[in-house]
Structure formats: C-alpha cells, structure tokens
C-alpha cells in the first residue's frame, strides 16, 4: 500500500504532537531538577525545541511541493530529525534520576 500525502501528513502531525508532549514532560523535569542538572536539561530542551521547529518546517513543505518531490526528501529529513529527538529523549531519561515520593 502506497503512502498518500494525507496519511503522511496525519503521521507527521501525530509525531509533532508527541514531540510537544515530550517537551512538556522535559519542562516539568527541569522545574524539579537541581542546579547542575537543570543546566544540562535546559540545553537538551533547547535542542529539542530546535528539532521541533525543523520538523514543523519539513511538515509545511508537504503542502507546497508535489508529492513525488516531498516523499523522498521529506522521509529522509524526517527520519534524521526523529532519530535526533529520540536520542536526546533517551539521554534525558538516562541522566535524570527518578523522583521519589516523600
């Protein structure tokens, strides 16, 4: 089954929404972190925000190019952005100790 422009757009919209949720979760962790950890998490948050902007830019191109132009170029770029977001997210969760209930 070939991917259509509409299904591709829905997939990208869902991914952007997930990234937004991750940004909110990271922001909550930052608010609870100590000074040194807060500095590291803020850097990660800024990187994720940049990647989110890049993802949105790629998404906007779907509407302005032909589907054939978009499909190959966008899939490659999207995979790079998505991989980077996942890598940063994994680093954040690896370096952030779980919160304890008092």
CB atoms within 10 A of CB 100: 5
Per the structure, the complete domain to which residue 75 belongs is given by 5-95
Number of independent structural domains in the chain: 1
CA distance 6 to 30: 36
Residue 38 C-alpha from the chain's centroid: 20
- Of 98, 78, 75, which is closest to residue 86 (Cα–Cα)? 78
Position 92 pLDDT exceeds 50: yes
Whether 12 is covered by a domain: the verdict is yes
Whether 76 is covered by a domain: the verdict is yes
What backbone torsions phi and psi does residue 52 show, to the nearest 5 degrees? -65, -40
Note the pLDDT tens digit of each residue in 19-68: 888 888 888 888 888 888 888 888 888 888 887 887 788 777 776 777 77
Mean pLDDT of 77-83: 79
Whether 101 is covered by a domain: the verdict is no
């Amino acid at each position: 089954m070939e991917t259509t422009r509409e299904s591709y757009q829905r997939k990208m919209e869902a991914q952007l929404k997930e990234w937004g949720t991750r940004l909110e979760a990271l922001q909550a962790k930052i608010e609870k972190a100590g000074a040194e950890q807060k500095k590291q998490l803020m850097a990660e948050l800024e990187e994720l925000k940049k990647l989110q902007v890049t993802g949105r830019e790629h998404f906007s191109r779907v509407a302005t190019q032909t589907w054939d132009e978009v499909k190959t170029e966008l899939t490659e770029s999207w995979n790079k952005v998505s991989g980077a977001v996942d890598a940063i997210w994994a680093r954040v969760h690896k370096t952030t100790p779980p919160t304890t209930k008092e």
